[in-house]
Amino acid sequence: MRKIYFYLLITALLAGRQVYAQHLDIEVWGEGNALFTGYCRTPGVVGCDLGRLTDVLHLPVGTLPIEAVTGKLIFLADFQDLPGGDFRTKNPGFQSIQHALLPNELLSYRAVGNLKYWDAGLGIWKDAPPEVQISLFGGLEASADVLSDFLKCAGQLICFSDGSFGVDGSTVFTGEGIQGKPELVVDITDNNGILHTHLSFFLENRLGEPGGPHGAYGVEMQLISNARFFPSEPFLIVFNAGLEEEQFAAALLALTGEPSGVDPPPQPIIPVSIPGDVDLDGDVDRIDVALILLAAQNSDPLKPSNAAFDIDGDGVITRNDASVAKDVCSLRLCNIPIEAPATALNVAAVFDSSTGILNLNDIQVGNQHYRAQLQLQDDHLLVLKGVQEDRPRYAVPAHYHIESGTVEIASVYIHGKNYKAILSNVGNSRFRVDHLEELNADLIQR
């Protein structure tokens, strides 16, 4: 009886496009060396109206869909909620509130698993048919046009060169797995740790043409940070592609079973819009620049819905509008900083004195890159706690030399200062500190 009741509640959520088009953005925050995601509920911000959504569902505050078998959070979206067609959406977005993340923290997504499809006729979830895919656009990838020099980029892995808008990559979810770029940059936080970005999901056939069978589709991803060792837990995004409300409710119910409750922390309000902020996320960043540039390339006519794109006020949307947006961009993925701020994000190695943990967020062994954690045992000895294969993230990674058994760390961040360090492998996953030298200072003896 309870399942029937929940089914009716979900149906009530989808009772009309105006109600159904509501969504919850993906809230992101960090705790120590780990990244977390949850349902956004910042008061007054689109995509964070948790109270209104639960009111529509008539559920207790904080009760939202969670996959019964795995406990993964489920975020809802509709391919028909974005002007421009029935097969695209920019929801859900990614948000962090003030101080939830570190200043200038680089956030990326990692696509995992297979594209899932809800067959309404059979009433089952299965791998999507081979003729359909979901493409995700807007994530940034490093290229020859993007700087990766430590000094010019203040230590960040990437930033825009003076004559480039950067390169947007794409990820393709299929029933056989992930194609394209499985891992791309979402955005970088501002000086207060705030981030709000919406990428674009497209339902397509294998030729990249819009369209696909009616049904519900599910993708899976997790978020990673350049400053934290542990990524977020994987989560699901479930899209409606033309199903009736009752059919989509059945698809969701097949995943959730009984309703589960979550209680995200209260959040302050995201900053209000400013000139040049065409995606209305509170800042002018590379997404705004890319959206204006795309409109200019498509020769989109100026109309009330995109009037904000005409930044220079000449009555048309051109590359000059994108250039103006780039000039006023408030985030470091658009502007090259003159000096590198002294933060833990500028180096690939960070030592936390409170826990005694040395985080090697990028260590190169031959041609392969890894993340590793070492625990301090005494003043000169560290023990390897964990290691995982990864991709290049920093212009200056740590290096492990197999032949000599030494670890060279060009810069490790300790107590607000940067040091050069050399460790030696002494066996049994233990490493001895042989050399520690403060950069731009005299040698420190231990």
Query: pLDDT (tens digit, 9 = 90+) per residue, 82-138?
Result: 555 678 888 888 988 878 888 878 888 999 999 999 988 888 999 999 999 999 987
Considering the domain architecture, whether residues 240 and 367 belong to the same structural domain is answered as no
The one-letter amino acid code at 389 reads E
Distance CA 197, CA 392 (A): 23
Distance CA 357, CA 237 (A): 34
The reply to whether 312 falls in a domain is: no
The reply to whether 90 falls in a domain is: yes
Q: Does 160 score more than 70 pLDDT?
A: no
Considering the domain architecture, whether residues 217 and 359 belong to the same structural domain is answered as no
> Token digits for 312?
């220079």
Beta bridge partners of 31: 34
Query: Could you read off the pLDDT of 324-378 as tens digits, one per residue?
Result: 887 776 554 554 333 334 344 446 788 888 788 898 888 999 988 888 889 998 8
Cα 302 versus chain centre, distance:
31
Considering the domain architecture, whether residues 72 and 183 belong to the same structural domain is answered as yes
Considering the domain architecture, whether residues 109 and 233 belong to the same structural domain is answered as yes
Query: Do the beta carbons of residue 194 and residue 98 sit within 8 Å?
Result: yes
Considering the domain architecture, whether residues 142 and 244 belong to the same structural domain is answered as yes
CA max distance for the chain: 74
Q: Does 431 score more than 90 pLDDT?
A: yes
Task: Label residues 156-172 b or e (16+ Cβ within 10 Å = b).
Answer: bbbbbbeeebbebbbbb
Domain around 415: 347-438
Considering the domain architecture, whether residues 252 and 375 belong to the same structural domain is answered as no
In terms of C-beta distances under 8 Å and separation of at least 24 residues, what long-range contacts does 13-20 make, across chains too? Answer: 13/53, 13/56, 13/57, 13/249, 14/240, 14/245, 14/246, 14/248, 14/249, 15/245, 17/78, 17/80, 17/81, 19/56, 20/78, 20/81, 20/240, 20/245
pLDDT band at residue 162 under the 50/70/90 scheme: very low
The reply to whether 327 falls in a domain is: no
The reply to whether 310 falls in a domain is: no
Torsion on CA atoms 363, 368, 370, 374, rounded to nearest 10: -50
**Which of 261, 295, 326 represents a domain boundary (last residue)?**
261
Domain count for the chain: 2
Distance CA 140, CA 155 (A): 17
Considering the domain architecture, whether residues 63 and 182 belong to the same structural domain is answered as yes
Instruction: Give all strands (DSSP E) within 200-320, no chain letters.
Output: 200-205, 215-225, 235-241, 260-261
**Which of 246, 261, 276 represents a domain boundary (last residue)?**
261
Q: Does 221 score more than 50 pLDDT?
A: yes
Considering the domain architecture, whether residues 175 and 60 belong to the same structural domain is answered as yes
The reply to whether 406 falls in a domain is: yes
**Which of 198, 229, 261 represents a domain boundary (last residue)?**
261
Q: Does 438 score more than 90 pLDDT?
A: no
The reply to whether 376 falls in a domain is: yes
Spatial CA neighbour of 446 closest among 376, 354, 378, 380? 380
Considering the domain architecture, whether residues 362 and 216 belong to the same structural domain is answered as no
pLDDT band at residue 158 under the 50/70/90 scheme: very low
Considering the domain architecture, whether residues 22 and 122 belong to the same structural domain is answered as yes
Q: Does 6 score more than 70 pLDDT?
A: no
The reply to whether 332 falls in a domain is: no
Hunting for tokens 């499809």 — which residue is that? 117
Considering the domain architecture, whether residues 370 and 250 belong to the same structural domain is answered as no
Considering the domain architecture, whether residues 256 and 351 belong to the same structural domain is answered as no
Q: H or E segment at 242?
A: none
The reply to whether 197 falls in a domain is: yes
Sort residue 262 into left (φ over 0), alpha (ψ -120 to 50) or beta: beta
- The pLDDT score that the predictor gives to residue 57 is 42
Q: For residue 396, what are the contacts with CB-CB under 8 A and spacing of at least 6? A: 150, 155, 347, 348, 410, 411
